[in-house]
Amino acid sequence: MEMYMLLGGILKLSKHAIARSNQRGIPQCLIPIILEFGTEKNKPAGAIEVLLTKKNKNKLIGRLKSFIQVIEKTKNKAIVLDSTFDKVITLYPKD
């Protein structure tokens, strides 16, 4: 049984899920993305379906574009930390 580390803990994949992932060409690396940004729907027997809709996908793409803009602003910026890495001492542009 394969496992994935998620922010909330460990998610186990059944042999069935692994086989279907391979058969249907759905990369397992998509699982955390679908879980994080998808829409939940109750299914029979207490199961939960999580679907990444077009609306969810577009919202995620928008967030990623915003994140890319933030990353662009970090170019040539530096942070100085203390030796235990738990306090920022200063920040400055580095040209």
Chain centre distance of CA 52: 13
Residue 37 makes CB contacts below 8 A (sequence gap 6+) with: 52, 56, 57, 59, 60
pTM value > 0.85: no
- Give pLDDT tens digits for 41-68: 999 999 999 999 999 999 999 999 999 9
62-71 pLDDT per residue, tens: 999 999 999 9
